[in-house]
Amino acid sequence: MMIVMKEGATQEQIDHVVERIEEVGCSAHISKGELLTVIGAIGDRDRVAALGLEAAPGVDHIVPILKPYKLASTQFRKGQRTVVEVGDAKVGGDYFALIAGPCTVESRDQTLTVARTVADAGADMLRGGAYKPRTSPYSFQGLGVEGLRLLQEAKEETGLPVVTEVMDARDIENVVEVADVIQVGARNMQNYTLLSELGRTGLPILLKRGLSATLEELLMASEYILKEGNDKVMLCERGIRTFETAYRFTLDLLAVPTLRELTHLPIVVDPSHAAGRRDLVKPMSLAAAAAGADGIIVEVHNDPEKAICDGPQALPTDTFNEYAEHVFRVAEVAGKRTSRGVEA
């Protein structure tokens, strides 16, 4: 339920509504706009309805949110889109951001070379994993703290904010020292205790869609982060499991306009992990930008043949500038502002 307060409602009236909601074991999420304050009541709907808050002083009206996700729903923000700001970059609303970098941090030379390339091409953020979710426990698992140190160095040199994954809550302490955005990998989308912990960091979170998760399940997962008071959540479509085996996963681009209808949160697309093949990455990137994605996260490597992981899908550094230019152009055609600007 969403309790919309009257214009000019007093703090006392707001506190009173919050108290009543909490009295019945529900929680209240306050969202203060320029003119109006909206209080989201989270918990048992019937109990909140029974409070008769329509009649409480300062309350204008009540909007029931029928979806199981509340804070993520379009209704919760009254149609206003969330823009997540990360350093100079903005994602969501009118803003499009390109996030690029290696799958995993391998070495100083590789990380800095890729970081310089993507920065020069106008990318808005650098991606790179220090903790890698690998299918096989015998595969390279990431450089850990040493990887974080290399990302820090790349950030200091290029000025690009860093997006990196956390798989285990025990690593959060180290990761928050470096990360500007914390990635939740597809395999952890339903790790609810991790999501709650990450919500409490207050850092922007890039939440990837699980391999077989519905959009509703993705939105419910985002709710775990939002309910901690962290509204800097970006959703990421990265391909889902289907019967098709010609490529790694099926990129569900219908998710982009569909999520836009269901949620105010920014929607990012990862064409690299969906495709698994570099020749498919550019066409899918352009399609994602055309579909209205708020951002793209893509893998780039200076020597893809020798990459420790995901080499076949990595864009080589020497092709990245043209790739970025084309992606930005399509995003602009779709009505977005990009770091290159329309005239660039």
Interacting residues toward ligand PEP by CB under 6 A: 103, 129, 133, 185-187, 208, 238, 270, 273
Q: State in angstroms the smallest separation of the CB of 86 from Mn ion.
A: 20
Q: State in angstroms the smallest separation of the CB of 297 from Mn ion.
A: 10
Q: Which of Mn ion, ligand PEP, none binds 274 (CB below 5-8 Å, type-dependent)?
A: none
In 3D space, the residue among 323, 322, 300 whose CA is nearest the CA of residue 313 turns out to be 300
Site string for Mn ion, 60-99 (x = CB under 5 A): ----------------------------------------
Q: Which two tokens stand for residue 228?
A: 């901690």
List helix spans (H) across the chain.
11-23, 45-50, 108-120, 145-158, 172-175, 192-201, 215-226, 255-262, 271-275, 278-290, 317-333
Between residues 62 and 268, which has the closer beta carbon with respect to Mn ion?
A: 268
Q: State in angstroms the smallest separation of the CB of 93 from ligand PEP.
A: 24
Q: Which residue has the tokens 């180290």?
A: 174
CB closest to ligand PEP, residue no: 185
Alpha-carbon gap, residue 188 to 39, rounded angstroms: 30
Q: Which of ligand PEP, Mn ion, none binds 185 (CB below 5-8 Å, type-dependent)?
A: ligand PEP
Between residues 187 and 337, which has the closer beta carbon with respect to ligand PEP?
A: 187
Q: State in angstroms the smallest separation of the CB of 84 from ligand PEP.
A: 18
Q: Quote the crossing angle between the two packed helices 192-201 and 215-226, to the nearest 10°.
A: 50
Between residues 58 and 239, which has the closer beta carbon with respect to Mn ion?
A: 239
Q: Near Mn ion by CB under 5 A, which window of 92-100, 107-115, 305-313, 317-325?
A: 305-313
Contact (Cβ atoms closer than 8 angstroms) between residue 199 and residue 157: no
Q: Which residue has the tokens 């005239």?
A: 343
Q: Near Mn ion by CB under 5 A, which window of 23-31, 168-176, 178-186, 306-314?
A: 306-314
Q: State in angstroms the smallest separation of the CB of 190 from ligand PEP.
A: 12
Q: Contact between 223 and Mn ion (CB under 5 A)?
A: no
How far does Cα 100 stand from its chain's mean position?
Answer: 14
Q: State in angstroms the smallest separation of the CB of 11 from Mn ion.
A: 48
Alpha-carbon gap, residue 124 to 118, rounded angstroms: 8
Q: Which residue has the tokens 């951002």?
A: 295
The residue type found at 222 is S
Between residues 41 and 130, which has the closer beta carbon with respect to ligand PEP?
A: 130
Among 310, 323, 324, 339, binds Mn ion (CB under 5 A): 310
User: CB neighbours (10 Å) of residue 260?
Assistant: 18
Helix, strand, coil abundance in the chain, percent, nearest 5:
40, 20, 40
Which residues is 281 bridged to in the sheet? none
In 3D space, the residue among 172, 182, 166, 184 whose CA is nearest the CA of residue 125 turns out to be 182
Q: State in angstroms the smallest separation of the CB of 251 from ligand PEP.
A: 11
Among 2, 103, 225, 307, binds Mn ion (CB under 5 A): 103
Question: Which stretches of the chain bind Mn ion, using CB under 5 A?
Answer: 103, 310
